[in-house]
Structure 1
Amino acid sequence: METVSPRRKIDLLIAAPRGFCAGVDRAIRIVELALERYGAPVYVRHEIVHNRYVVDGLKAKGAVFVEHLDDVPDDLPVIFSAHGVPKSVPEAASARGLEYLDATCPLVSKVHRQAEKMVTEGRHILFVGHRGHPEVIGTFGQVPEGTISLVETAADAEAIEVNDPGNLAFLTQTTLSVDDTSEIVTILKRRFPAILAPKGEDICYATSNRQAAVKSIAGKCDVVLVIGAPNSSNSLRLVEVAQRSGCVAHLVQRGLDVDLAWFDGARTVGITAGASAPETLVREVIDRLAERFELTEREVVTATEGIAFKLPKALQ
């Protein structure tokens, strides 16, 4: 008679907060309500959020995702993604007579308004962010060309030269590493003592909370899984935070991406999810682990989030 080997036990630490933030909830709801109001198809410029599962789910309901406004037919509504867009995009939509809904996260919109104000006051902006990210493109598009410069790294902060050090300000992308950004800002303040800081923290509450939650578990884990998309800035930062805590970390989009060989010898595994990843994918990854291991689950809560953002007036 064949003997069945018992499944190895693994302690599973599930970080909280994790997954959807208020801005993502709002953006997805805008697309769903627009489909209810206008009927399919509803066009969305760029992925509404950076998560393939979410985007495919909305496609199935009738949303059409395009990268350029020129790809939107006349007389159909268009939605702008949660990452924000340059001013030129809604201006072009209005010029064509297109009805549009802006799903930009309110915390990103806050950065946009601050950029406008700083430039109006005659300041040059040093913007801490990642080149090519939609949020960076959108923020640069709020102010005249030449009034804002990108700083990606600490080395950039050390090297950048400005014409008028007495009239500087800085802003940051909302989904950055808290630790990396702190290092860069410290350098900018040392080099340019008169630089104006933003009102309040630009890195959003959800990004900060999720990074703190990962820090709280990573030091106890052999492996950490971060559920998110490879083009999701906040998810990639969670991987980095876990790695800096000394453990192995993997970014996965869903359960099928999990290689069970990663956990050879592992006793404690951590799980979190980026701000664009739904909870259903967390459970899918846990179910994948349960195929081989006997899991003891424990949620580790480091903060409680109760923030909700209003919908556009047209959908209220």
Structure 2
Amino acid sequence: MTVPTPLALAPAMADALARWLEVEAATRDRSRHTITAYRADLLTFLAFLGGHLGEAVTPKSLARIRQTDMRAFAAAERARGLGPRSLARRQSAVRSFLRWISDREGYDLSAALATRSPKYMRSLPRPLSPEQAQDALDMVATGHDTPWVAARDVAVMTLLWGCGLRISEAVGLNGSDWPFRDSLTITGKGKRQRQVPILPVARDAVAAYLHDCPWQTEPDLALFRGVRGGRLDGGQIAASLRKARAALGLPPTATPHALRHSFATHLLAAGGDLRTIQELLGHASLSTTQVYTGVDDAHLMAVYRAAHPRNRG
């Protein structure tokens, strides 16, 4: 799918876009990847709008946007093959930007902002079974010619599966976080902090990696290092797991994030309650945890009937 070539952004428009992205990054704790996606979304929108209006877009020209313009943009994106989920995300970024600029410039863009995004079926996570997860870690342990790199990848994946960390949270750990105590303070999305219990197997995996790692642990430097000593990139963990799943015949859904899904679903299967799992994962909403673990309404009702005091004998 090709992206339309944008008309040159007017300086005021380029400045406004840069300012909005700065605000998103600073006040909403957006990740680098999210900011990159937002920039691409807005450049695509402004490219369409430039052709639609026949002129380079300026903040002032945005005041003329109507619901028909937003619908025309959505139709153009669908015609280029953009799926409902991607279109919904793109429209959400555009609305967020328009809301910000309308507040800053005093425009009334309520009609444009009222445009609805397309509905789409949210895909449910596909966790690994405990046996698949263990097989994957065993394969990773022997999947690299350099022993300390293999031990590093196993340690990171153990934190994902055993403690429910996001890949960004695991590679974001510093030397000051070691040695692990019974729990670890993790700062997740939205700068929300949570306490994550550390299993002995996770502590042992990290200790084994550090024993073989050629780089000395420094409080202000990354705990998990790349081969050149810099902070480990999550993409290297993804590549390691991709190699392991190919060898084991696991599905493409067997990703580092699937290990975090597996943490949640395995806890639930063992009798953990959703509220506790929500806290461990760092989800702001219980509904997110419900989808994350694949819990359906029937399961929730079964838990309710079993736990409510009025249903006890």
Q: Please give the TM-score of this superposition, normalised by the length of structure 2.
A: 0.23
Q: Which has the higher relative contact order, 1 or 2, with Cα contacts under 8 A spaced 6 or more apart?
A: 1
| Greater percentage in strand | 1
| Greater percentage in helix | 2
Q: Please give the TM-score of this superposition, normalised by the length of structure 1.
A: 0.23
